Chains A and B, each alone.
Chain A
Amino acid sequence: MTALLTVKNLVIGFEKAKPVVDDVSFSVAPGKTLALVGESGSGKTLSCRAALRILPPAAQLRGGQIEFFGRDSATPIDITSLSERKMRSIRGNRISMIFQEPMRSLSPLHRIGNQVSEALKLHHNFDAAQRKKLVLEQFDRVGFPNPERVYDSYPFELSGGMRQRAMIAMAMVGRPDLLIADEPTTALDVTTQAQVLGLIKDLQAETGMGVILVTHDLGVVANMADDVVVMNRGRVMESGPAPLILRDPHHPYTKDLMAAAPEIPATPADRPKEDERDYILEMRDVNKTYELKASSPWGAKSVVNAVRGVDFGVERGKTLAVVGESGSGKTTCARMALGAERADSGASILFRAEPGAEPVNLQDLNRAERLAFQRQAQMVFQDPYSTLNPRMRVKDALCEPLEIHGIGSASERIDRAVEILRWVGLNENMLTRYPHAFSGGQRQRLSIARALMLDPTFLVCDEPTSALDVSVQEQVLGLLEDIRDRLNLSYLFISHDLAVVARIADEVAVMRAGLVVEQGPPEQLFYNPQHPYTKALIAAQPEPDIARPINLKIVAQGAGAPSSWPDAFRFDGVNAPPLRETEPGHKVRYHA
């Protein structure tokens, strides 16, 4: 079979610097999926954009061939030498593309229907009514329950997954020969990701188009790809059929990537049972409601139940993980655990600094108590790029907490900073640098170092690895485990990624719509999940293993609204069944 797109010896560089894509070759056949895998900066995105010639203005195509052999073309088309005009007739028509951030990849000011039908308007001679008909058909195919409504909606009225479906509809409406998907699911929740990946697969089977999938996630690769190209620093490390590479990687870089990919282990580990539990933080009967401003000055206020009836504790020296998709209330829980947000009255959030000490209630702290608590509890944030002040040197950022609490002299503070930097695997000559001189992983280490400066006993980690590459994520998780055990820290760990949680947590609470739907130690939760939502989360997790593909049926069953769950778990969104213990330590929310 002739290849749809053939890229040979591609070289791309910026200005006079060394090439960032160097001697890259790959090809994709009709009906097949090629995955370009690599970490950020590996050149995978530039390589696939070269096929559409939508590179940043400063990037130059220095060499190589790109040939496209579409269904309508008699001979292969040389993309590199095509006129801009002819190139435009290929973009969005024969080759189309979907992007990473569905939130920002659609114009906020134009209706979805307008933006999608534009792809037809540009390349075909349909009249307005025909265009609308085709677009509505496509909307139906990508799984919009009400195509007419979506047609007249603005992007901000749709959720992330829905927007990505709209993007896919826009790419597919012109029936392209080749679809380039640049990290199409990275910004989505794991259950949504599973559904979007399933959709791309279905559409591919239906139309016979080729797909180039750019991703950093080997789990996604295992579920989608026929062929794999592994890239690192602009070069191809290894390429070949997906089963071969995933089962038996040869290049050391691929092996590292495989080893770093977090996965839910296949067999339960034994864990000794605790008799007497020593909680550092207990949240009992915690509810949080927000009042939304009414749409008109006369309208009634609406109330959002962000967190409902949360009841769990963080054991000393252990990690409690709270898992859920965006909007599940997990971050609100984290904020209340830090005293940054007050729960509704009637809740008790108790913090014990020492075993057996008199607990303080975070709901009503006086000034002195609050100050003391803030020394004990610290936070590690999600995005290491925006949580460090770009105008503060590392030294100043690290010493600031000590200054605020008036601890130590200037030189003692520096000594402490040096010591902590060593703990997190950085060295003291980095003290005078500014944050921009560090990579994402190093910044997250800095952010952890800053949290440790006050010698806390309790850390809240809000998705600390979700902005990082897999191999860096692995290192940061290792560091967190290491310092937890060394300093006897306790973590409240917020995440949407079950595989990350499987590794670090001693207890897991799964949240959905403000409610804990299932709670228990990871071995019980992962090997004997009871709740359909937990099952969906586990099923949706892409594994870098060809033998364990995503089961979309399970995902669809649990990922929907609570009213679509099986009978025993179903509720109307308001009157939830109680959380019951099914086996010791394992609680599930269901109707008895």
Chain B
Amino acid sequence: MALLRFAVFRFLTMLATLVVVSVLVFVIINLPPGDYLSNQINELRATGQSNGIAKAEFLRQEYSLDQPLWKQYLIWAGFMPGPHGFAGLLQGEFGWSFEFDKPVADLVGGALWMTVLVNLAAVLFIYAVALPLGVLAAAKSKTWIDYTSAFIGYLGLATPNFLLALILFYYGNRYLNLPIGGLMDPQFEGEPMSFEKMKSVLIHLIIPTFVIGTSGAAAMMQRLRANLLDELGKPYVETARAKGMSEPRMLSKYPLRVAFNPFVADIGTLLPSLVSGSVLVSVVLGLQTIGPLLLSALKSQDLFLSAFVLMFVALLTLIGTLVSDLLLALLDPRIRFGGRER
């Protein structure tokens, strides 16, 4: 019951945070002087193409870019009616991309799911690799197992992702016949989902997951190892030994449970760092995620596109922290009963 109340409370604060973030995103994007349309109008004026100017002016009014900033924000967020009534984020209208001359929703539609898919795969990869290796390294600390895993881990941390990507593409294609670039074979693009398409996507995912996940996994493994080593020195571990528990059983029941907290708490920070960290990798690997879109939108000051992408990343982060907070409360009675009187 207390947990449910906590979840509701946490969800409401998340919504409030999202509103604040949207203000920040909108303000920051508008900080550099000019916007995509006024830049274009100036350019058209300089080259004397007057019919283009009319269209740009029309778009300016259509999307209320001639209004003061605070009104622009309210219209964009959907708190206030624009020229076509309420049509903002709240109503599911994400605006128009001026650079690509398409609605933002059409532009990012597929890329969103691909982004979620790639990053989810990377997160799973990170946890799947870091958990056993971190536990092993801590249980066998200061042996060759520990040193070898640390060495490989540091290699993973130190190698630039894009370099790793290129190397893996070359050898993966040469010896394992793995595909190069993209997230599916070209013939499936735009096709409805089918078994064949899914298979193609999964095969294409192998290398990106590995590339994006390695450094995260290495860092996570070292953190888990350090946390677990700290816990292994605590008296309750000795109590468990004195009770007659076998080492593996003791390890998984007691210290791992406690060392798990930071592991879980990392979910929140992992998601955004993966999304923003994988921009370069996505460009190099030619992945159709929102990373490359964000890069070009920011470069050309494409207001609605970049705002939407940033909002999406913020949403991922907030959902990540929400999930990790709820998991922590489930896992740790000290957090759950934090406010309870003794």
Contact = CB atoms under 8 A, between A and B. Distances in A.
A93 B244 contact: yes
B242 A54 contact: yes
A83 interface: no
Contacts of A296: 5, 339
Contacts, number: 85
A285 interface: no
Interface string B329-342: 00111100111111
Interface string A98-115: 011100111111100000
A118 B241 contact: no
B340 A106 contact: no
Contacts of A167: 239
Contacts of B240: 107
Interface stretch (B36-44, B230-238, B276-284): B230-238
A110 B254 CA distance: 8
B243 A54 contact: no
A109 B242 contact: no
A297 B13 CA distance: 12
A122 interface: yes
Contacts of B334: 108-109, 154, 156
B241 A108 contact: no
A97 B338 CA distance: 31
Interface in A180-234: none
Interface string B1-12: 000010001000
Interface in B127-153: none
Contacts of B234: 104
A215 to B, nearest CB: 17
Given A157-B337, A296-B339, A99 B241 contact: no
Interface residues of A, number: 35
A101 B235 contact: yes
B246 interface: yes
Contact of B238 (A54, A93, A96, A118): A54
B55 interface: no
A91 B250 CA distance: 13
Given A294-B339, A295-B339, A89 B242 contact: no
B247 to A, nearest CB: 9
A579 interface: no
Chain A contact residues, majority secondary structure: loop
Given A104-B234, A107-B258, A296-B5, A170 B243 contact: yes
B243 A105 contact: no
Interface string B244-257: 11100000011001
Contact of A295 (B239, B257, B332, B341): B341
A105 B235 CA distance: 5
Interface residues of B, number: 28
A168 B188 CA distance: 67
A156 B339 CA distance: 12
Contact of B239 (A89, A106, A123, A154): A106
A92 interface: yes
A124 to B, nearest CB: 11
A167 B239 CA distance: 9
Contacts of A101: 235
A89 B244 CA distance: 6
Nearest to A116: B243
A205 to B, nearest CB: 24
Given A99-B239, A296-B5, A109 B244 contact: no
Given A54-B238, A104-B234, A108-B334, A92 B244 contact: yes
Given A157-B342, A295-B339, A295-B340, A107 B245 contact: no
A90 interface: yes
A101 B245 CA distance: 20
B341 A91 contact: no
Contacts of A96: 242-243
A179 B236 CA distance: 17
A105 B238 contact: yes
A122 B341 contact: no
Nearest to A114: B253
Contacts of B257: 107, 109-110
B12 to A, nearest CB: 11
Contacts of A122: 243-245
B243 A119 contact: yes
A105 B244 contact: no
Contact of A154 (B253, B258, B337): B337
A570 interface: no
A97 B236 contact: no
Contact of A88 (B245, B254, B337): B245
B261 to A, nearest CB: 9
A255 interface: no
A91 B243 contact: yes
B333 A91 contact: no
A91 B241 contact: yes
A575 interface: no
A557 B270 CA distance: 57
A88 B242 CA distance: 8
A91 B239 CA distance: 10
A52 interface: yes
A91 B235 contact: no
Interface string B309-342: 0000000000000000000000111100111111
Nearest to B240: A107
Nearest to A93: B244
A293 B339 contact: yes
Interface in B174-188: none
Contact of B244 (A90, A106, A156, A294): A90
Contact of B333 (A54, A88, A154, A170): A154
A97 B245 contact: no
Scoring B243, B331, B340 by chain A CB atoms within 10 A of each residue's CB, the highest score goes to: B243
A148 B39 CA distance: 74
Contacts of A99: 235, 238-239, 242
Contacts of A146: none
A260 to B, nearest CB: 28
- Most central of A93, A106, A108, A302 by chain B CB within 10 Å: A108
Given A157-B337, A295-B339, A295-B340, A118 B239 contact: no
Given A101-B235, A106-B236, A106-B239, A302 B244 contact: no
Nearest to B254: A107
What 10 pairs across the A-B complex have the smallest Cβ distances?
Answer: A295-B339, A92-B243, A91-B244, A92-B244, A97-B242, A105-B235, A104-B235, A88-B244, A107-B236, A154-B333
Given A108-B334, A109-B331, A302-B341, 4 more contacts: A54-B241, A91-B242, A92-B244, A108-B236
Interface of B: 5, 9, 234-236, 238-246, 253-254, 257-258, 331-334, 337-342
